[in-house]
RNA sequence: GCCGGCGUGGCGAAACUGGCAGACGCAAGGGACUUAAAAUCCCUCGGCCUUUGGCCAUACGGGUUCGAGCCCCGUCGCCGGUACCA
């Protein structure tokens, strides 16, 4: 009988579905395990071959845990990615809901086809009012606790989505989603005070098991730095406050710089001799997009505020004040003291504007360049700091500032508050109304959910107003507080809102009276293992940690952190069809002939296809035609092969290229298993010839799954199968193999399990145990080195002592020859591994 | 620039805490079976040489060590994150 993967896979998927094999049970007495993956955005293109990588990985973990006796929660849902869905809907004249529903149906079909052990009954839909009722509820709690506020400020404006973006959504001055340029606009926005949680978001990383690169990226993004705030007196009497991490260099501060948006400028407007020039600069800075600001970063610009000067508190010198867009309004105090001798940016600016540069730390040549890495230098030209080390000077200066009430220690964070409103239709309405008398008033909780109204036209508008703003019937309402006329907030929430707490809803998806029931949250507690993409490290992951901490503070959840463990997968890349190495041999030959040499051929390819052609491995893209569709792979090879290959192709954490012809190897592996087990075997004990290999494989596969070394786990299973071809397996041997294979290739495992007549289902069998003693041999082949060089190998009894090992090694014919005329100076024995004989010629 | 990570055969990759480099798979070559092909099974497979053996090989140059892919110093290259954050 042939391995008919298509019908086998269908058969078992249907059975799992009907019997609800993977349903998690709330309150069950078994130990619980909660595995979580990031849902796919249900885009119109369907599943990408990259999706199954993290899903298969955690499916393997979830399946193993069930076999180990855990009550496993492994849920899935679809969270709408608002702007793309809406854009697609606009383009195709459809309602966003229809688009989302179609996409979800397609994704569900595709995911089911891959045999993931999701509990499909816990699907949640963040766009369902029953769900977003609770998203709105959480927002209201934040509002009531002062964590949501409306503020007018320059925001990132995507010129294509016609919508405000959070800082985290802007990549190099372009929109993270659509790639259009982002400009700055002054707008009144709802903000969430994530900055209030900055320190806790850093500190609590110590208590969770996240892979290191996730922790570092989060810490870098939050960007804590310790320094001092220093107050400079000005000739106008107003105090100009700055932040500096280098208080020690205060004697070298020769001028000040304020951000063009700094509030004091308005206050000083009357006094400024060059007000027109200042105004012009301010306007130009406001017009620049983020991209332009960074592009032009080498060329410093600025305008002096003529008529106002600051006084250096330690030297008493009057120094000029400039405005320049190299100082950011949103960080620190929006103003700096410039120390050109020891800061590259200040140095450039000082050179351009001919400002004095005073060296205060000895060691560099401050006429040539700023001396920045000067931690080990000694203070000079610095009055009472002279002769001190930098470290000492910082401390001394901080004390001096405090004593004179001119400054204090201060911690700053790069993290900004989260811009939370979007001028889009397709999002959760913000449940607040504005009343002339009472201000912003929350809706009573009994009125939640505030439904998104049906609307004919949901295109974004150019004036930056949400499409909801035109719906007078909806907008005009009464104030819940005073009963007077009021208007609803017309901006909606960003797509990150619903996804900031969705993992809680899985615990209790149908609860109408709470976002998650008390019993449910106490039972499931927190996510045990969450795997997701690195691209969400500074977005979703940070946002959801923030929301969770807030929910912890108001007593809704019992843990400070939502996820006990976080891992991340590498991307699936494709081969570049334009790269020389990936061309068919005949084509390579032809090009080499035509262009004289391989180098010539490569040069030609780069000329023809651009720089890109020099990279053999690239992201999959439609234009290169190297996109792999999982449907096709499943059709040709089956889901089990796809799952096995995607786990086998390389280190899970690293990017790896998809190679079509390598998939065959995994199909062959499954074929070979099929051939071994399609006929009923005899003997329920492990066969003597295979026993040791089986114990070793159980150990290795188990450990590898825990460490996400799926590729070597499969390699080890392949070796076991090869072993079974040498030594015919018993029915017991096959049973062990099938249980180990079952998390990776669950369908074929079930089918063969049934054919062998084992009880129940393979996915419900107990995970096999190994006996450490049985994983080892009685003998061991070890390396024999002479003077550190490998000469031969010998077989020793396992765990033999040093003397025995040296005896066996020196008795070897070849070693004997090498020892001729030499004497043994030293021996090094590494137990069960190697012996190294140090020989010297006899005199 | 700064912060992470990486660099190993024709290819994807293994290699624990410093201990036989290249497990496992792809491609390639040879053989068996077959009228033939596919499939399957078996063998070979880093390079070089004077081939019962020897030498060289883990981006490059040094170092530590009995012993280095792994540790240290320096250089080059690639990937990811971040960027006028004072």
> Is A91 in a helix, a strand, or coil?
helix
Residues 417-446 of chain A with CB under 7 A from strand B are: none
- A226 is near strand B: CB distance < 7 Å: no
Nucleotide nearest to A570 (CA to C1'): B80
Specify whether the CB–CB gap between A798 and A832 falls below 8 A. yes
pLDDT band for A289, please (50, 70, 90 cuts).
Answer: low
Residue A415: strand, helix, or coil = coil
Among all strands, which nt has the closest C1' to A655 (CA)?
Answer: B79
> For A807 and B55, how far is CA from C1' in angstroms?
29
Query: Cβ within 7 Å of strand B: which of A 118-137?
Result: none
**Cα separation, A376 vs A396, whole angstroms:** 16
Whole-number Å distance between alpha carbons of A547 and A528: 18
Which nucleotide is nearest, taking the CA of residue A299 and each C1'? B84
- At residue A186, the pLDDT reads 76
CA of A581 to C1' of B28 (A): 16
Task: Work out if A612's Cβ lies within 7 angstroms of strand B.
Answer: no
The CA-CA-CA angle for residues A299, A304, A309, to 5°, reads 140
Tell me the C-alpha distance between A541 and A563, whole Å: 9
Cα dist from A571 to A120, A401, A709, A775, whole Å: 26, 51, 16, 35
Judged by average pLDDT, the poorest of A81-90, A272-281, A483-492 is A81-90
Task: Give me the CA A653–C1' B64 separation in Å, rounded.
Answer: 32
Q: How far is the CA of A588 from the C1' of B10 (A)?
A: 14
Please check whether strand B approaches the CB of A246 to within 7 Å. yes
Residues A749 and A762: their CA atoms lie apart, in Å, by 6
Strand B proximity: list residues 59-118 of A with CB under 7 Å: none
* pLDDT confidence of residue A264: 95
pLDDT at A615: 83
Residue nearest to nucleotide B40 (CA to C1'): A672
pLDDT for the residue numbered A843: 65
- Whether A93 shows a pLDDT value over 60: the answer reads yes
Q: Is the CB of A838 under 7 A from strand B?
A: yes
Between these two residues, A566 and A609, which has the higher pLDDT value?
A566
CB-based contact A284:A263 (threshold 8 Å): no
Q: Is the pLDDT of residue A841 over 90?
A: no
Distance A663 CA to B26 C1' (A): 8
The predicted-structure confidence for A6-24, as pLDDT tens digits, reads as follows 999 999 999 999 999 999 9
Protein-to-nucleotide distance from the CA of A654 to the C1' of B6, whole angstroms: 9
* Per-residue flag: A487 CB under 7 A of strand B: no
Nucleotide with minimal C1' distance from the CA of A171 is: B82
Query: Which residues are within 8 A (CB) of A487 and not within 5 positions of it... i.e. 6 or more apart?
Result: A433, A434, A475, A476, A477
Confidence of residue A80 (pLDDT cuts 50, 70, 90): low
Strand B: which residues 791-830 of A lie within 7 A (CB)? 791, 793, 814, 826, 828, 830
> What's the pLDDT at A184?
75
Through-space separation of residue A778 CA and nucleotide B66 C1' in angstroms: 28
Burial of A843: CB neighbours in 10 Å, binned 0-12, 13-18, 19+: exposed
A789-797/A779-786 β-pairing: antiparallel
pLDDT grade for A814, boundaries at 50, 70 and 90: confident
Any idea which nucleotide's C1' is nearest the CA of A337? Answer: B86
For residue A696, give the nearest of A617, A584, A791, A771 by alpha carbon.
A771
CA A206 – C1' B2 distance (Å)?
24
**Phi, psi (degrees; rounded to nearest 5) at A187:** -145, 155
Which nucleotide in the DNA or RNA is closest to residue A615, CA to C1'? Answer: B78
Pick from A444, A448, A405, A445: nearest CA to A429: A448
Task: Provide, in whole angstroms, the distance separating residue A833's CA from nucleotide B18's C1'.
Answer: 13
- Return the structure tokens found at A698: 């159980």
Checking each nucleotide's C1' against the CA of A334, the nearest proves to be B86
Q: Return the pLDDT at A396.
A: 95
Listed range (A73-77, A137-141, A146-150, A627-631) with the worst mean pLDDT: A627-631
The answer to whether A736 and A698 are in contact (CB under 8 A) is yes
pLDDT above 60 (res A664) = yes
Determine the average pLDDT of the residues in A464-488. 89
Question: Tens of pLDDT along A525-556?
Answer: 999 999 999 989 999 999 999 999 999 999 99
pLDDT at residue A297 greater than cutoff 60: no
A672: CB within 7 A of chain B nucleic strand = yes
Place of tokens 């290169």: A624
- Protein-to-nucleotide distance from the CA of A412 to the C1' of B77, whole angstroms: 36
| pLDDT of the residue at A461 | 72
Q: How far apart are CA A249 and CA A253, in angstroms?
A: 7
| Chain A span 334-363 residues with beta carbon within 7 Å of strand B | 334, 336, 343, 345
Whether the beta carbon of A538 falls within 7 A of nucleic chain B: the reply is yes
Question: Residues A822-832: pLDDT tens digits?
Answer: 888 888 998 88
Q: Is A46 exposed, middle or buried (0-12, 13-18, 19+ CB in 10 A)?
A: middle
Check residue A82 and give its pLDDT: 62
- Within residues 626-665 of protein chain A, the ones with CB less than 7 A from nucleic strand B are 648-651, 654-657, 659, 661-662, 664-665
- Please check whether strand B approaches the CB of A840 to within 7 Å: no
Across all strands, nucleotide nearest A659 (CA–C1'): B12
Output the pLDDT for position A291: 61
Mean pLDDT of chain A: 90
Cβ of A150 near strand B (distance < 7 A): no
In sequence order, the 6+-apart residues with CB closer than 8 A to the CB of A586 are none
DSSP state of A453: P
In degrees and rounded to multiples of 5, residue A359 shows phi and psi of -70, 130
CB-to-strand B under 7 Å, chain A 260-299: 293-294, 296-297
Taking the CA of residue A569 and the C1' sugar atom of nucleotide B45, their distance in angstroms comes to: 33
Give residue A577's pLDDT band: very low, low, confident or very high (50, 70, 90): confident
């Amino acid at each position: 009988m042939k391995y008919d993967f298509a019908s086998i896979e269908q058969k078992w998927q249907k059975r799992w579905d009907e019997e609800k094999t993977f349903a998690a049970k709330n309150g069950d007495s078994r130990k619980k395990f909660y595995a979580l993956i990031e849902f796919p955005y249900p885009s119109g293109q369907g599943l990408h071959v990259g999706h199954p990588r993290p899903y298969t990985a955690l499916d393997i973990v979830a399946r193993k845990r069930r076999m180990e006796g855990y009550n496993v929660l492994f849920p899935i849902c679809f969270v709408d990615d608002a702007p793309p869905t809406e854009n697609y809907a606009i383009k195709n004249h459809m309602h966003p809901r229809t688009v989302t529903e179609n996409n979800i149906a397609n994704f569900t079909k595709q995911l089911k086809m891959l045999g993931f052990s999701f509990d499909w009954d816990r699907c949640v839909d963040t766009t369902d009012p029953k769900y977003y009722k609770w998203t709105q509820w959480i927002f209201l709690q934040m509002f009531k606790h002062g964590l949501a506020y409306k503020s007018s400020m320059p925001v990132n404006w995507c010129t294509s989505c016609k919508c405000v973006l959070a800082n985290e959504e802007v990549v190099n001055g372009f929109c993270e989603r659509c790639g259009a340029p982002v400009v700055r606009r002054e707008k009144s926005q709802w903000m969430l005070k994530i900055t209030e949680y900055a320190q806790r978001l850093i500190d609590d990383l110590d208590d969770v098991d996240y892979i290191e690169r996730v922790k570092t990226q989060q810490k870098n993004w939050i960007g804590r730095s310790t320094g001092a705030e220093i107050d400079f007196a000005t000739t106008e009497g107003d105090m100009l406050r700055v932040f500096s991490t280098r208080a020690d260099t205060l004697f070298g501060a020769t001028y000040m710089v304020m951000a063009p948006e700094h509030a004091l400028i308005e206050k000083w407007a009357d006094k400024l001799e060059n007000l027109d020039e200042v105004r012009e600069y301010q306007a130009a800075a406001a017009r620049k997009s983020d991209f332009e600001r960074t592009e032009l970063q080498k060329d410093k610009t600025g305008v002096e505020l003529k008529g106002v000067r600051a006084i250096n508190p330690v030297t008493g010198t009057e120094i000029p004040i400039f405005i320049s867009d190299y100082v950011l309004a949103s960080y620190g105090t929006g103003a700096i003291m410039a120390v050109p001798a020891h800061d590259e940016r200040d140095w450039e600016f000082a050179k351009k504007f001919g400002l004095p540069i005073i060296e205060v730390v000895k060691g560099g040549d401050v006429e040539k360049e700023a001396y920045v890495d000067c931690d080990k230098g000694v203070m000079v030209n610095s009055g009472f700091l002279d002769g001190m080390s930098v470290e000492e000077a910082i401390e001394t200066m901080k004390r001096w500032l405090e004593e004179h009430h001119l400054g204090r220690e201060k911690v700053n964070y790069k993290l900004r508050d989260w811009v939370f409103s979007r001028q889009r239709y397709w999002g959760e309405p913000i449940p607040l109304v504005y009343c002339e008398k009472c201000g912003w008033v929350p809706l009573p909780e009994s009125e939640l959910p505030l439904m998104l109204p049906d609307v004919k036209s949901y295109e974004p508008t150019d004036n930056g107003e949400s499409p909801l703003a035109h719906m007078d019937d909806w907008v005009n309402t009464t104030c819940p507080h005073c009963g007077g006329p009021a208007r609803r907030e017309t901006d909606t929430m960003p797509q990150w809102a619903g996804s900031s707490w969705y993992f809680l809803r899985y615990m209790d998806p149908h609860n109408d009276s709470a976002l998650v029931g008390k019993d449910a949250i106490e039972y499931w507690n927190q996510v045990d293992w969450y795997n997701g993409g690195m691209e969400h490290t500074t977005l979703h992951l940070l946002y959801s940690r923030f929301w969770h901490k807030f929910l912890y503070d108001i007593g809704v959840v019992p843990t400070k952190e939502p996820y006990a463990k976080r891992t991340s997968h590498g991307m699936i890349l494709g081969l570049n069809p334009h790269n020389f190495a990936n061309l068919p041999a005949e084509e390579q030959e032809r090009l080499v002939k035509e262009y004289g040499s391989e180098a010539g051929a490569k040069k030609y390819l780069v000329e023809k296809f651009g720089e890109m052609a020099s990279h053999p491995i690239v992201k999959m893209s439609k234009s290169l035609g190297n996109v792999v569709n999982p449907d096709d792979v499943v059709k040709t090879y089956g889901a089990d092969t796809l799952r096995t290959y995607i786990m086998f192709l390389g280190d899970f954490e690293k990017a790896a290229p998809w190679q079509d012809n390598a998939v065959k190897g995994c199909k062959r592996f499954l074929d070979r298993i099929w051939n071994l087990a399609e006929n009923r075997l005899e003997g329920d004990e492990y066969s003597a010839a295979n026993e040791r290999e089986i114990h070793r494989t159980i150990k290795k596969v188990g450990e590898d799954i825990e460490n996400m070394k799926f590729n070597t786990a499969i390699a080890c299973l392949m070796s076991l199968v090869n072993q079974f071809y040498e030594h015919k397996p018993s029915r017991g041997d096959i049973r062990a193999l099938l249980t180990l294979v079952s998390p990776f290739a669950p369908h074929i495992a079930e089918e063969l399990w049934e054919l062998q007549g084992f009880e129940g289902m393979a996915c419900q069998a107990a995970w096999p145990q190994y006996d450490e003693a049985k994983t080892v041999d009685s003998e061991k082949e070890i390396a024999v080195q002479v003077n550190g060089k490998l000469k031969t190998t010998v077989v020793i009894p396992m765990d033999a002592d040093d003397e025995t090992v040296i005896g066996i090694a020196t008795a070897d014919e070849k070693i004997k020859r090498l020892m001729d005329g030499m004497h043994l100076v030293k021996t090094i024995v590494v137990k069960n591994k190697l012996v190294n004989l140090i020989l010297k010629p006899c005199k």
